[in-house]
Homo-oligomer: A and B are copies of this chain.
Amino acid sequence: MLAIKSPFKKQQFEAREEAILDAVNRLLSEKGFDLMTMDDVADAVGVAKGSLYKHFSSKEKLAAAAMSRLLSQTLEVLNNFPAEWRAGKRLEEVLRWTLQHRLRGGVPHLPSTRGAFQRALMLNLEYLALALKVNKRFYALAAEARRGGEISDSISDNVVVYTLYARSCDPTLEFLQKSGGLTDDQIVEAMVQTTFGGLRSRATSYENSSN
């Protein structure tokens, strides 16, 4: 971020910054961090590559800013749930929102766990603070949902929270989208149902014998 004098130019500058983050958001979801080049971003926004560096001092900072914006939006969603919703309902709804966000072309919360990007994110203080906040909210909801008997006692909090994160970058979404048989809403519902209800028929007792 640079010092800008005129209020009009400042507004223009910030609008351009939003446009850059929008483009990064889309490119990250399409190609991932490593395959996204600064030329891609510059072309998508319609500015010269060098100009990007007046806004963000590195490719890592640029991508981290886009990820931070996503986390802020997630927190906003969590804060705006109706007060009467129970924890289990909130967990379902935040997953639903995340999947819808991805269907609209957004980045998943997890940009591939391996690779240099994840390490760079962990050195970004703004991102880290937001990620910890979101994480705390998820653990609190998971614990509350278990107390309310809404999620299974035999599944630990870790598994619940990580599973929700993982569903946010689940390639099943893209498969179902490309296979074409389902509408976007049906895809979201199918994934929410398999996440919370599982694949198994609820009628079946399904013994755990080893043969």
Q: Which of A144-186 contact B (CB under 8 A)?
A: 149-156, 158-160, 162-163, 165-166, 169-172, 174-176, 179, 181-182
- Residues of B within 8 Å of A202, CB to CB, are 152, 202
Is residue A54 within 8 Å, beta carbon to beta carbon, of the partner chain?
Answer: no
Is residue A8 within 8 Å, beta carbon to beta carbon, of the partner chain?
Answer: no
- Residues of B within 8 Å of A76, CB to CB, are none
Q: Which of A176-211 contact B (CB under 8 A)?
A: 176, 179, 181-182, 190-191, 193-204, 206, 211
Asked if B163 contacts A194 (CB within 8 A), the reply is yes
Q: Pick the contact of A199 from B30, B171, B195, B204 — CB < 8 Å?
A: B195
Asked if B152 contacts A110 (CB within 8 A), the reply is no
Known contacts A88-B206, A171-B166; decide if A160 and B115 are in contact (CB<8 Å). no
Count residues of A near B (Cβ-Cβ below 8 Å).
56
Is residue A5 within 8 Å, beta carbon to beta carbon, of the partner chain?
Answer: no
- Chain B's nearest CB lies how many Å from the CB of A37? 12
Asked if A152 contacts B200 (CB within 8 A), the reply is yes
**1/0 contact string of A47-75 vs chain B (CB within 8 Å):** 00000000000000000000000000000
Give the top 8 A-B pairs by smallest Cβ distance, nearest first. A198-B198, A162-B175, A197-B198, A166-B172, A196-B200, A162-B172, A113-B171, A152-B201
